[in-house]
Structure 1
């Protein structure tokens, strides 16, 4: 019983830092080989379109990743599949001069959370889909382990 309580408290602490999150999901990249044709999609529900949201990329990579940056193309679509926007983003995974990895690391695995959109207001309540494609032109792109998104209600006083 005591170990159950310890596990329960640990789980509460892990999940408490995302109190504003309305959606958080990852897609694992098989064998760390991200093929161009593999474009994970994340579908989430927005109940309140009157408040702003922050949207983040979630990324996990190995230190063996061969570049300091990563180019991604994102596509945001509404419930009918209509594209609301698309954009190419550059994520900086390591310092370009020193090679020191950014993000939180454990061993040779690093997790990153990059702001994609700040204070975004969805046009209306409903389902939305974010699709992400790697745009590094290396096929497959090696040592990217997972990619995902987090959608949070914007809170300017939050220190998550």
Structure 2
């Protein structure tokens, strides 16, 4: 009986952690690298225009990722034609080289803040586009193939 009770408690905690999750989508990169011209786009539409949300970008990397940071360019297109464009920088590793993010083995998943306490004011289809903007120091040209990024995604959660 105690094992059954413990199992039910763990199962309930697992479900309660995802109660606020509204949207979660991922796309894999090609062969574990992200081409600078590959824009990863997601669409979503089932959003309550009266709710407040937190939006996260999710990036999975493996040990072949050669940098401690990641620059991303995002565009959020609203159904009414408005576009919000951001250039973002995220830390991917500690100064000693230890990867940030969660996961066992060689893949780490980073849940990165994108928008906090946002309201989606218009009903309709939204599009979130993400591209990388990594460059080597002193170089104007972007890195053509960014190794080590295996998947890119996003999540929308209801704000408590």
TM-score, with normalisation over the residues of structure 1? 0.83
- Per the TM alignment, residue 108 of structure 1 is displaced from its structure 2 partner at its CA by 1.1
* Residue number in structure 1 paired with 2:5: none
Q: How far apart, in 2, do the equivalents of 1:146 and 1:16 lie?
A: 25
**5 Å matches for 1:49-128?**
49-79=49-79, 82-95=81-94, 97-128=95-126
Larger Rg: 2
CA contact (8 A) 2:78 2:122 kept: no
Q: Structure 1 residues 109 and 87, CA, compared in 2 at 3 Å: closer, same or farther?
A: same
Q: Which blocks of at least 5 consecutive residues in structure 2 are unaligned?
A: 1-9, 135-141
- Per the TM alignment, residue 84 of structure 1 is displaced from its structure 2 partner at its CA by 2.3
Q: Which blocks of at least 5 consecutive residues in structure 1 are unaligned?
A: 1-9, 156-160
Q: Which structure shows the bigger proportion of residues in strand conformation? A: 1
Q: How far apart, in 2, do the equivalents of 1:38 and 1:12 lie?
A: 39
- The reply on whether 1:141 has 2:146 as its aligned counterpart is yes
Q: Which string of whole-angstrom CA distances, capped at 9 and with x for unpartnered residues, describes residues 102-155 of structure 1?
A: 111211110110110100011222221100001012111001000010011111
CA contact (8 A) 1:46 1:128 kept: no
Counting matched residue pairs gives 145
Q: How far apart, in 1, do the equivalents of 2:28 and 2:12 lie?
A: 24
Return structure 1 stretches of 4+ with deviation > 3 angstroms.
Answer: 10-16
- Per the TM alignment, residue 14 of structure 1 is displaced from its structure 2 partner at its CA by 5.6
Q: Structure 1 residues 43 and 14, CA, compared in 2 at 3 Å: closer, same or farther?
A: farther
Q: Which string of whole-angstrom CA distances, capped at 9 and with x for unpartnered residues, describes residues 58-108 of structure 1?
A: 11000221000000000000235x24200000111101x211111112111
Q: Structure 1 residues 120 and 108, CA, compared in 2 at 3 Å: closer, same or farther?
A: same
* Residue number in structure 1 paired with 2:32: 32
Measured on the aligned residues, the alpha-carbon RMSD in Å equals 2.0
